[in-house]
Amino acid sequence: MNKMKVLNLYYSTTGNTEKVAKKIEEAVKELGHEVDTVKITKKDTELDILQYDFVFVGSGVYMWLPGKPLQELFMSLLAKYNGTGDIKATSPKRPQSNAVVYCTYGGGHTGINEAIPTVKYMGQLFDHLGYNIIAEWYIVGEYVTED
């Protein structure tokens, strides 16, 4: 397989998603690909998603959705790629570009249903850009509380 340029993008507040992201980084390196691991901390519109053939994106689930900083980043990236014309009507596929979207979640109330909106939300930016979403992972994470 050709050497790929992989983006490993994630948001994590209590460390569960970070553990998954670290494993992804290890596995991608082991397979001989190049990987940039980016933990979202604030709006970072410098991030150039389109230079990556393969993207992993993950977040914890907080009130059914990804973390606020991830949402803000995605809204600014959406605006950026609308502005550059990279998001086109009917979102034609970029055949070489793939994404895996995942979350870690507790599921204590409604199980996977309270995690589905998070993964669908994150997937939409890539869907709009024409990436093929080749997998969606729902990973049960430890519910870390202060007491």
From the CB of 95, what's the least distance to ligand FMN, in Å? 32
Query: Between residues 69 and 123, which has the closer beta carbon with respect to ligand FMN?
Result: 69
**Distance between CA atoms of residues 64 and 138, nearest Å:** 13
Q: What is the H or E stretch that residue 119 is in?
A: helix 116-129
Single out the residue of 8, 12, 73, 119 in contact with ligand FMN (rule: CB under 6 A).
Answer: 12
For residue 94, give both structure tokens. Answer: 């970029």
Taking CB under 6 A as the criterion, the residue among 22, 64, 78, 130 binding ligand FMN is: 64
By CB under 6 A, is residue 8 in contact with ligand FMN? no
Binding of ligand FMN by 138 (CB under 6 A): no
Spatial separation of the C-alpha atoms in residues 99 and 110, rounded to whole Å: 26
For residue 67, the tally of other CB atoms under 10 A from its CB is 20
User: CA end-to-end span of the chain, whole Å?
Assistant: 48
Q: Which stretch binds ligand FMN (CB under 6 A): 32-40, 62-70, 85-93, 122-130?
A: 62-70
- Residues 84-113 close enough to bind ligand FMN by CB under 6 A: 104-107
Q: For residue 68, how many other CB atoms are within 10 A of its CB?
A: 11
Positions in the binding site for ligand FMN (CB under 6 A): 12-18, 60-64, 104-107, 114-115, 141, 143-144
